[in-house]
Amino acid sequence: MNKPNKKSYAVNTGKYGIIVLAAGNSTRLGRDKQTLLVQGETLLKRASKTAVAAQPDQVVVVLGEKAHLHQRELHGLEVSIVINSDSSEGIASSIRTGIRHLQSLDQDIDYALIMLCDQPYVTSGHLKAIIDRQHETKARIVASRYQKRAGVPVLFHKRFFSSLLKLKGDSGAKQFLLEAEDLITVELLNGEVDIDTMEDYLRLQISNS
């Protein structure tokens, strides 16, 4: 396991951790999405490098049942790897695993920024913008916005950790975004693009060619 990143992006404004969810079984895709190449890098490596480049206090990468194959993509990156043994349950189990591991690394973490490994248009600049927006507004939830809706990546204040730890199934944190009263958003160009099927991947390859 690599050492977690200790560089803080937002000095004296709270402690931030980024959780990269990469434990999915890619059932609809038919092969591991984590190792799909996008502009010469796997989706897993690309997302993890993006998280590290945002300079949070910690970066946690949640892997699933094929962790023994995927860990090599994280070699040399300042991340902390945790394995979700219940990944077949759905994304909620990965969120729970990530939050628990983040808290075990640093009990003083104030915010968790949750992102997926299969959104190729997420940049470190966007992650920093989310953190900046939280610092400016003091909002407890800051989400990305695309197609007129709030979505991931999304930042949660620690007051929501206990609720995130109660999530079940494959609904993720959508209910929080629907019910949040103090939700702030940051626009993410092409944020709706993710890789769930081979058709999604082929469209992305064509757009990048």
Per-residue pLDDT reduced to its tens digit, 29-46: 778 999 999 999 999 999
Q: Which residue intervals of 60-197 are DSSP H helices?
A: 67-70, 91-105, 124-137, 161-164, 174-179
Predicted local confidence at residue 79, as pLDDT = 99
Q: Which CATH superfamily is domain 16-208 in?
A: Spore Coat Polysaccharide Biosynthesis Protein SpsA; Chain A (3.90.550.10)
Please tell me the least confidently modeled range out of 16-30, 90-104, 129-143: 16-30
Q: For the chain, what are the domain ranges?
A: 16-208
| 113-142: pLDDT as tens digits | 999 999 999 999 999 999 999 999 999 999
Per-residue confidence (pLDDT) for residue 200, from 0 to 100: 92
Please name which of 81, 160, 65, 157 lies closest in space to residue 73, comparing C-alpha atoms: 81
Q: Residue 4: pLDDT above 70?
A: no
Whether 80 and 105 have beta carbons less than 8 Å apart is answered as yes
